Structure formats: structure tokens, C-alpha cells
Amino acid sequence: MLKIYNTLTGKKEIFKPIVEGKVGMYVCGNTVYDFCHIGHARAMISFDVISRFIRHLGYDLTYIRNITDVDDKIIKRAEENNESTQALTERMIAAQREDELALGNKMPDREPKATEFMQEIIDMVSILVEKGFAYQGASGDVYYRAAKFKDYGKLNNRKLEDMLAGARIEVEAAKEHPADFVLWKRAKEGEVAWDSPWGKGRPGWHIECSAMSTSCLGSHFDIHGGGPDLKFPHHENEIAQSEAATGKDYVNYWMHCGAVRVNNEKMSKSLGNFFTVRDVLAKFNPEVIRYLMVSSQYRSPIDYSDQSLQEAKVALERLYTALRQQSVADSYEPTEFTERFENAMKDDFNTAVAVSVLFELVRELNKAKTESPAMAPKLAAELRVLADLLGLLGQEPEYFLQNSTISEGLSETAIQTLIDERAQARKDKNFARSDEIRDELARQGIELLDSREGTTWTRH
């Protein structure tokens, strides 16, 4: 049975979908005003793996992940760039998809944009106003009455007063209570805006997700996910809005992935340790980044550093080396490795244990190559299938081993030319020149491996 750690209850629970055999999952996506950073990559990859395994278990999954394409940060960045908000968001959405595909993610079933659900947002705010959960302040903005929702704070297991203590709360004269938050913002002159019963404006951040999730999955659905920084206030506010508007429970299982820290510090542009996905892709094969992310269970924090990436590269090279020049069977009978892998994943998607099972399978595969050659292709097939559930081993082994890092050194053509020259030198018994070429390539980070089939190489 699949068990999921539920942030709402603070414990692992046996997963029971609302509708047998079907799963609705909504994950908070990005505000598209800049390129994706490695923290975004953690959430993207985590929920991609979760969606793959849920489908592997036979569930009919509908995976929704929103795009916030109207926001104060977007408006500010568009003004700085002297471009329209639409031009900026379209450019950033395209860049995000490029990054995700490079990282090996499968796209969600649907990616609703906030600007496409403006009527649904306005309708939900109207219901909240009618029910007395919202009001229009003197500023023209519409606020949610946090204190009126009796269960406010249940996701974070804290009372409203406790959450306010020490927190930076935006206090405005137009608010009735410091914890009240904006549902609809009155637009300033020249800003992008939509007509509403409260004047021209745009939605607050929190209401977007409530409207989009319930529109796509219904007022009550199975799983809601996101990054660790969204628990409060974003997800707490989503619950308050949605349950007040519909009168129903909102979500059964809340899931939050762990944070990414850089050299044991919080990632921040001011600290100079802020890395976009594109920064890292310029140095490492995308699967190295993915391996780093799945080598820890999704709720665990990850420390990102050059050393951690190097360790991920070396570990992934071990997996690919086992498949190098190894035939892969078209079919196989699952062994104990599949059972152990699946059991790890059923325990709250414990990819760390699942990855350790892959390495045990590799050891068995390497042993079978000499002791049971007929079994090796089947074990290789099993390795490929299990690794694919994590989005790993999707490249040809030779290609990955030659491109695990992005080097500005020798080109593949230049490397092959030297290998061919070395082969001729060995044929001519010019072993001094042969050794010179090997040493020269080693200095360039190229390791040669000689076998009966010829010479292959790996870049380090």
C-alpha cells in the first residue's frame, strides 16, 4: 500500500483516493518573471517522480500545475525590461519548458494560467464577499477575513495569534485585522487590469490557486503539493479561501518537498549563491542534476555544491558503466530488486532507498556478465525500467559517459582522432607514442578503456 506523509496531519497515512482508481493532484508552479533556479528544479523533479510512480501503480492520475502569469514581480520586471507583461511571461514560460525537458521531466496534464481563469477567480471572490468572509477596504482592495475561518492555521498546526507573533505582516489601514490578505488588488494607472465588481484590478496570489485547482479538479481533490516555503501563508490561505467558498474539505493529502541549500546556506542573490537551472546545465549533463535531486527523499533538504554535483556525476557514471556495451532484453521477469524498489517508493516515495536498490542491481548485473551471461540482458532491462521511474538512465551509456560534464576542452572529433592515432601507434608497436596520447588525453580529463571491441572513453 502506498503511504504518503501528510503535512496536514503530520504523519504518514495510507493513501486512499476519493474516487477508486483515480487521483487528482495539483502542484503550485512558478511565478514566471525570471529563469527557473535550482530550488524550482527540486519541486519540478520531485513531483515528476511522484506522478510517474502513482501512474506506475495503475492509478489514472490527473496532474495539474499552475502558472502565475500576473503578479507584482511580473509587472515590475516588465517595466524594467521595457516590455509587456505578456511578452515577458511568454518568454519565461518557454524557457521553463526548455529547462524541464532538459531535466527529463514529463509535462503535467494541464498547466492553467491565472490570466485564463479570471472569471473563475472573480466568481470565487464574489462568493466569499457574499458569505461575509471577504470585504472591500478603503483602498479599494478586497481582503479575506482570516479570523472568521475557524480552522485557520490547521495546515501549520498553529493558532492565528501564534502565526502572527514575530511574522512580518503587511499592516494597512484598510485592513480589519493584520492577518487579512488580499483577494483582489485595485489596479494602479497603466497597470494590466480586468473589470470586476470592485473596479479594475487583478487577483491576489493566493486566490489564483484556489480558483484554478477547484476549476480543474473539483472542490475536493486528493493531493496538493509545493515547495517548503509555501506552507505559510500561501497554502494556509488556499485552504481558508477554498473551504469557506465551497463549504467542503479542500484537499486530503498535502505534500511539501525539502529546501535546497547552497553550501549549507540559504540560496540568495544577495549572498551570491543563486544558481539558475541554466547556470548548472552549462557545466553538467542534466541527468547529473536530476540524480542529485532524487538521491535524497523528496522531503529531505538538499545541500547543493560543486562537490555534491561531482559526487552525483560519479555515482551516475557507475550506473551507466554497467550498461556500457551491454545488450538489453526486450522483456524480463521482475526479481526481488523490483519488489524492494517498489516497496521503497510506496513508503512516501523514498527515492534514496530506491536508488540504493539500483546500485545493488548493478552489482548483480556486473556479476552476471561473467557468471550468468544469459541473465545479464534481463537484469539490464530491469535496471532500465526501474531507473526510468526516477527519470534516470534515459541516455545512451556511451553518450552520457562522454558528456557527463560540459567541457570546453577537446571536442569529440579531436578525441577520436587521437584515439585512432593511438590505435595505429599500438599496431606499429610504437608504444611510447601510444602512452603519450593516453597521458595527453588524461590531462584533458579523458579516460580510455581498452577492450576486445575497441577503445571507449569517458570524460571526467
Q: Where are the beta strands (DSSP E) in 366-445?
A: none
Indicate whether 64 belongs to any domain: yes
Amino acid, res. 180: D
- The verdict on 436 and 311 lying in the same domain is no
pLDDT at 374: 97
Tell me whether residue 269 is annotated as binding. Answer: yes
CATH number of the domain that residue 310 is part of: 1.20.120.640
**CA angle, 47 as apex, 45 and 51 as ends, to 5°?**
115
Indicate whether 292 belongs to any domain: no
The Cβ of residue 399 has, within 10 Å, a number of other Cβ atoms equal to 12
Rg (C-alpha) for the chain, rounded Å, is 26
- The verdict on 229 and 355 lying in the same domain is no
Measured between alpha carbons, how far is 273 from 261 in angstroms, rounded to an integer?
9
Measured between alpha carbons, how far is 281 from 102 in angstroms, rounded to an integer?
8
The Cβ of residue 242 has, within 10 Å, a number of other Cβ atoms equal to 26
pLDDT at 451: 79
pTM given for the model: 0.88
Give the count of domains, the chain: 3
Tell me whether residue 36 is annotated as binding. Answer: no
Measured between alpha carbons, how far is 62 from 217 in angstroms, rounded to an integer?
8
Per-residue pLDDT of the chain (460 residues; tens, 9 = 90+): 999 999 999 999 999 999 999 999 999 999 999 999 999 999 999 999 999 999 999 999 999 999 999 999 999 999 999 999 999 999 999 999 999 999 999 999 999 999 999 999 999 999 999 999 999 999 999 999 999 999 999 999 998 877 766 555 555 678 999 999 999 999 999 899 999 999 999 999 999 999 999 999 999 999 999 999 999 999 999 999 999 999 999 999 999 999 999 988 888 777 778 899 999 999 999 999 999 999 999 999 999 998 999 999 999 999 999 999 999 999 999 999 999 999 999 999 999 999 999 999 999 999 999 999 999 999 999 999 999 999 999 999 999 998 888 655 666 776 787 788 788 888 888 888 888 888 878 777 788 888 777 888 777 7
Helix (H, G, I), strand (E, B) or coil at 452: coil
- The verdict on 134 and 77 lying in the same domain is yes
Tell me whether residue 185 is annotated as binding. Answer: no
Domain extent, residue 383, equals 306-397
Assigned C-alpha cell, 386 = 526501474
- The verdict on 212 and 356 lying in the same domain is no
- The verdict on 235 and 377 lying in the same domain is no
The Cβ of residue 303 has, within 10 Å, a number of other Cβ atoms equal to 15
Say which residues have a Cβ less than 8 Å from residue 61's Cβ, sequence separation at least 6: 22, 23, 24, 25, 51, 54, 55, 109
Instruction: Please answer whether residues 300 and 258 qualify as being in contact, where contact means their C-beta atoms are separated by less than 8 angstroms.
Output: yes
- The verdict on 331 and 437 lying in the same domain is no
CATH number of the domain that residue 210 is part of: 3.40.50.620
- The verdict on 199 and 69 lying in the same domain is yes
Indicate whether 289 belongs to any domain: no
Domain limit, last residue, from 225, 260, 295:
260
Measured between alpha carbons, how far is 244 from 189 in angstroms, rounded to an integer?
32
Tell me whether residue 11 is annotated as binding. Answer: no
**CA angle, 71 as apex, 268 and 94 as ends, to 5°?**
75
- The verdict on 328 and 423 lying in the same domain is no
pLDDT at 1: 95
Tell me whether residue 216 is annotated as binding. Answer: no
pLDDT at 55: 98
- The verdict on 33 and 80 lying in the same domain is yes
Domain limit, last residue, from 370, 397, 424:
397
Instruction: Please answer whether residues 257 and 227 qualify as being in contact, where contact means their C-beta atoms are separated by less than 8 angstroms.
Output: yes
pLDDT at 171: 59
- The verdict on 432 and 337 lying in the same domain is no
pLDDT at 411: 65
- The verdict on 167 and 233 lying in the same domain is yes
pLDDT at 266: 81
